[in-house]
Structure 1
Amino acid sequence: MSDYKIKSREWWVERWLELLDSYRFKKRLERARKYANEGNVLNIEFSGARVLARVKGSEPEPYQVSLSLSPFSNEDWGYLVGTLSEKAIYSAQLLAGEMPDNIEEVFIANGLNLFPFALADIHSRCSCPDKANPCKHIGAVYYDLADRFSEDPFVLFQLRGRTKEQILEALRQLRGKGVKNRRDTPSVSKRRSEDGKKTASKEQTVKTPLTLAGFWDYDEPLESSLVAIAPSPESKSILELLGNLPLPATEAAMVQQYLEIAYREVAQQAIATALNREG
């Protein structure tokens, strides 16, 4: 488990933790952080947009914790995905595990907030006898979720009612419709119809000769909804698959850290380049 006191955190993780860090009962907050650091959060799973967790406390049986935010409506998500689809870089960064720096502007422009403003915005319950909310068990889950956000920013969206798969599929559909609309404007359809009538009789008697040089050429844009760009399903990174570096431990750790950053940036740039081919 990460040490929340010294770990360098991504900006969206910092924003998530700012709310809890402002909690006035610092002693309870310290115990919650300790629980998270020592692995007392036994497991976390999602039930829709709600987080369910088991936290080991002072009793033999772990306490049951639930935590959720107010999910956005289907209409809200429709507007959000529409705004996100306007810039391919949003999809590219999210797929690469990065939260776009100006992502909050997308939500604000649609009258929404991605992050909770106050502790009252977080709906949480714990089976422990402590009447305070958040108790240390709820706080530990809150801290533990920060690690999940660090690994996959889509987890934060799931708290607002949409999974990673749902968001990506909606983005693909919108981008696909955009390409289709550009292809099938009235002027283009009319021109194709007229051209087809002019060449129909010729095509009956004249066949275009095949040439090896142009066999693989394709002048039309690809249908984006048929192209899925996503990280490899392999859970291990290429560095993990290659194994330990043949260097002394200290040097190997430094090189490993450098290569991890390099591979992540290259992967992000590759996805951004691929998605930007359409705009």
Structure 2
Amino acid sequence: MRTTFTRQTQPTRGVRSWWGKAWQRAVEEAAYSDAELRPGRAHARRGDVGAISVASGGILAACRDGDDAWTVEVAIPVLEEASRTALVEVVAAEAGRIAELLAGNLPHDLVEHAEEVGVELLPYGGELAATCTCPHYLDPCPHAVAVLIQTGWLVDADPLVLFALRGVDRDGLLAQLHARTVPATVDDVGAGVTVASGELADDVELVVDAAQRAARLLALFEEGTELPDGLL
């Protein structure tokens, strides 16, 4: 599934989360030198990057430079199926982790637990393979650096963007977690299948509903819109 985010503005207080800073370090590692980083940061701050399209394994965006606009593509390795399954298991392993993710927080112990089972969620510089249609002789060029920096702003605000890039989008994650809580049939029980309680299924539904309500309230609050009673 591809998600397109509207033009970004630099966060007022900068990148604050530990995972957002880890992404920015990866961008710095990916760049060859400050000669690409400095103008890339300037492009990002000025808002020269257009809408950013995020999909499993890739980022697509345009970056304006004077009278020209260049197309940037970034490829990020997607987790293999076994690793995606392991990541879902890690999220489900402790109560409250999915609620944290939906609230915009990436628990440090979740990432550590994932690494223990061989799943690398946060990318390193060498995994950020960027190309641009501009004539610059190095990749990532300043335009690609700008797109990567702004993608980091998205990751900082919502760590599930990082999950999506790795091949586990929000809807897929919720569907898999929900499937784990659906009671098995009588035949399944007879075959020795572990049955999750109905209460756990209800908890997942409540968490999802609460997170969605909170996201809508926050969006309305930031817009200065009067909050409707139905969302309170």
- What's the TM-score, normalizing by structure 1? 0.65
Task: Please give the secondary structure, in 2, of the residue aligned with 1:65.
Answer: strand
Unmatched segments (≥5 aa) in structure 2:
1-8, 191-196, 228-232
**Are the counterparts in 1 of residues 74 and 128 from structure 2 also a CA contact under 8 Å?**
yes
- Name 1:241's counterpart in structure 2: 225
Q: Say if 1:16 and 1:115, in contact at 8 Å, map to a contact too.
A: yes
Which has the greater radius of gyration? Answer: 1
Q: Give 1:51 deviation, angstroms.
A: 0.8
**CA offset digits 1:19-77 (Å, max 9, x no partner):** 2234451132111001000001012112443111011014x341010012110112211
- In 2, the alpha carbon distance for the partners of 1:236 and 1:147 equals 17
CA distance in 2, matches of 1:13, 1:46: 16
1:36 aligns with 44
How far residue 8 of structure 1 moved from its aligned partner, in angstroms, is 5.0
Aligned AA (1:236): A
**How far 1:228 moved relative to its partner?**
4.9
User: What letter is aligned with 1:144?
Assistant: Q
* Aligned mates of 1:8, 1:125 — CA distance in 2: 24
- Give the conservation status (yes or no) of the 8 Å contact 2:52–2:61: yes
Q: Give distance in 1, aligned partners of 2:198 and 2:51.
A: 46
Count of aligned pairs: 203
CA RMSD, aligned part only?
2.6
Q: What residue number does 1:54 align with?
A: 62
The CA deviation string for residues 196-220 of structure 1, in whole angstroms up to 9 with x for no partner, is xxxxxxxxxxxxxxxxxxxxxxxx9
Q: What secondary structure, in the 3-state scheme, does the structure 1 residue paired with 2:106 have? A: coil
- Please tell me the residue identity of whatever aligns with 1:37: R
CA distance in 2 between partners of 1:238 and 1:229 (Å):
21
Give the Å deviation of 1:3.
Answer: 6.2
From 152, 158, 163, give the equivalent of 2:169: 163
Q: 1:112 aligns with which of 111, 116, 119?
A: 119
Are 1:88 and 2:72 matched, yes or no?
no
**Quick check: 2:132–2:144 contact (8 Å CA) kept in 1?**
yes
The equivalent of 2:138 in structure 1 is 132
Asked if structure 2 preserves the Cα contact closer than 8 Å seen for 1:84 and 1:106, the reply is no
- Alignment partner, residue 222 of structure 1: 199
List gaps (5 residues or longer) in structure 1. 187-219, 244-279
Q: Supply the AA of the counterpart residue of 2:219.
A: K
Query: What amino acid is the match of 2:117?
Result: N
Preserved contact between residue 82 and residue 174 of structure 1 (Cα < 8 Å): no
Question: Partner amino acid for 1:227?
Answer: E
Alpha-carbon distance between aligned partners in 1 of 2:145 and 2:133, rounded to the nearest angstrom: 14
Identity in percent: 22
Provide runs of 4+ in structure 1 moved above 6 Å: none
CA contact (8 A) 1:70 1:121 kept: yes
Of 106-115 and 86-95, deviating more is: 106-115
The separation in 2 between residues aligned to 1:221 and 1:51, in whole angstroms, is 39
Amino acid at match of 1:113: E
2:11 counterpart of 1:27: no
